[in-house]
Structure 1
Amino acid sequence: MFATPVPVPVHPLAMTPVLQVNSRTVTAEEIVPLLASYQMLPRLLREIVIDQAIEPFSCTPEETALACQQFAEQNQITSEASREVWLKRYGMTPSQLEALAIRSLRIEKFKQAIWGTKLESYFVHRKPQLDRVIYSLLRVKDLGIAQELYFRIQEREQAFADLAREYSQGPEAQTGGLIGPAELSTPHPSLAQMLSSGQPGQLWPPTRLGEWFVLVRLEKLLPAQLDASMGQRLLNELYETWLQERLAQVSSGRLQNSLLTPTA
């Protein structure tokens, strides 16, 4: 026998209208199913997890004033009238607008507090993929042709660029085989390993990569530097990795009423 479903009592507040769109009245009970049907629930969960994380972080009055000014400029809020229009459009109160304006700054403070002291070690870990190279590439499907071209280049009979334009069967033919600057995480892993261990000017014999035989010459190695731009990029990576882990825990039900302590 099948068990008879037991009706679940509906709280009176769940049936309270919370939104009117033309002739459609949306109740509190319908909000979550609607968010799910419009694929907006993951975004809501993401923002809630972020709000939990940044709760301990605040802004000074000076930081708040500057953030509000910048937000107004970015969103073309140039007068009190346009501000009222903006608030009405998004259904927000002035205090919610201020909270939105300083939210990005609070997120940055959170990132710095959790991962700021770990950037150097993370940079060392990531550097092999962040170093950039400029290299020349020529690809053909015939080993015999690849070997012949290799010897022509090695003996300086013809320039790599000229041969790449004439023989290469990939898009690099349009640039005379020249590629880059490109991070070492971009090329095929075998190609990246060759380039990372080579010296500028080094030419490798024909190498099999999938259906191709490739000729590769390292032109220039550009080591990554931990400057402000790179630091911000790595900080964002660490933050996004943490955030995705938290969202996975939310989705699986392992993260319930409290936020776990962030780690790098």
Structure 2
Amino acid sequence: MSEVLQVGNKTIKSGEIPILLKQYGLWTQFVRGVIIDEAIADISLSEEESRRAVEEWRLQNKLTSLEDRDAWLQSQGLTIDQMEEMILRPLRVEKLKQAKWHPKADLYFIERKQSLDQVVYSLLRTQDQGLAWELYYRIQQGEMSFAECARQYSKGPESQTGGLLGPVALTQPHPQIGKMLSVSQPGKLWRPQALAEWFIIIRLEKYLPAKLDDAMRRRLVDEMHETWLQEQVQLVSKSQSVESPAPSKPL
């Protein structure tokens, strides 16, 4: 039977669902959900884990009595089993992520480390080449501080912070600036460099190497999971697009 859903006076056929999901901007979210459900199908929770998660959720949502719970279920059009599945799903996803990606975090960290390292640096920019060299020599000789020069003469938003920027990942600044910072020692003052319409002066203040602590491991696990999930969504979407029949041409 092709008619699967009645919404008001509209009957929606199964073949129309993908089209409507895309029109409503829900296709990607739907596919993500299906992929995750398939991936966590074999992930189990203990009775204690399930009980604690449901209890915490009820307390957070102030559903402290059975009457409150039943009223909420009715308002959402859910059964108790569906509610519990909704509550436990994030916990099962977390278990999936830890099982699938946690063992790979060390190697991934090594691969990503250069882009995870952070720097604090000072930047000054001007379109006047002569002024750039004058300010460089003033800073170098200690006649003015970098912060004073940036506040008075820099033409970018960094003038509000005395030229100080960061901490930021080495990949965040312009590639030319990132390259200079990557080979700098803290305190190194670079001579004026041409960059687009600007002449810039930069100085590395601090180099903050990334560390594989618990917070970083958590971030990398989430990142690997999201990358995998996006790849799976693209594969499904591409496959669905290829398999969808082309619209018939009017006679």
State TM-score, norm by structure 2. Answer: 0.89
| Aligned residue among 178, 182, 191 for 1:196 | 182
Which residue in 1 is equivalent to 2:134? 148
Identify the residue that residue 154 of structure 2 maps to in structure 1. 168
Matched length: 241
Rounded Cα–Cα distance in structure 2 between residues aligned with 1:136 and 1:193:
15
Runs of 4+ in 1 over 6 A off after TM superposition: none
Name which of 85, 89, 96 aligns with 2:75. Answer: 89
In structure 1, C-alpha distance between the alignment counterparts of 2:75 and 2:178, rounded to whole Å: 50
Match of 2:231 in 1: 245
Q: Can you give the 5+ residue segments of structure 1 that lack an aligned partner in the other structure?
A: 1-12, 257-264
- When residues 210 and 69 of structure 1 are mapped into structure 2, their CA distance, relative to the original with a 3 A threshold, is farther
- Work out whether residues 246 and 255 of structure 1, in 8 Å CA contact, stay in contact via their aligned partners in 2: no
Question: What letter corresponds to residue 208 of structure 2 in structure 1?
Answer: L
State the 1:254 CA deviation: 7.9
Which of 1, 10, 14 in structure 1 is aligned with 2:2? 14
**Is 1:184 the counterpart of 2:170 in the alignment?**
yes
**Counterpart of 1:15 in structure 2: which amino acid?**
E
Cα separation, 2, equivalents of 1:168 and 1:92: 60
CA distances 1:192-250 after superposition (whole Å, capped 9, x unpaired): 12112211111111112222111101111111111111111110110011011111110
Match for residue 124 of structure 1?
A: 110
Q: Deviations over 1:7-49 (max 9, x none)?
A: xxxxxx3335x4444xx34445454443232111221111000
CA spacing shift, 1:255–1:61, aligned 2, 3 Å: farther
The reply on whether 1:107 has 2:93 as its aligned counterpart is yes
Alignment of 1:212 onto 2:198: yes
Instruction: Spell out, residue by residue over 1:153-208, the C-alpha distance to the aligned partner (whole angstroms, 9 max, x if none).
Output: 01111010000000000000001001111121211112112112211111111112
Deviation for aligned residue 1:78: 2.9
Q: Over aligned residue pairs, what C-alpha RMSD do you find?
A: 2.0
- Structure 2 residue ranges without an equivalent (≥5): 243-251
Question: Percent identity over the alignment?
Answer: 46
Contact 1:249 1:255 in 2 (8 A): no
TM-score, normalized by length of structure 1?
Answer: 0.85
Distance 1:26 1:88 in 2: 24
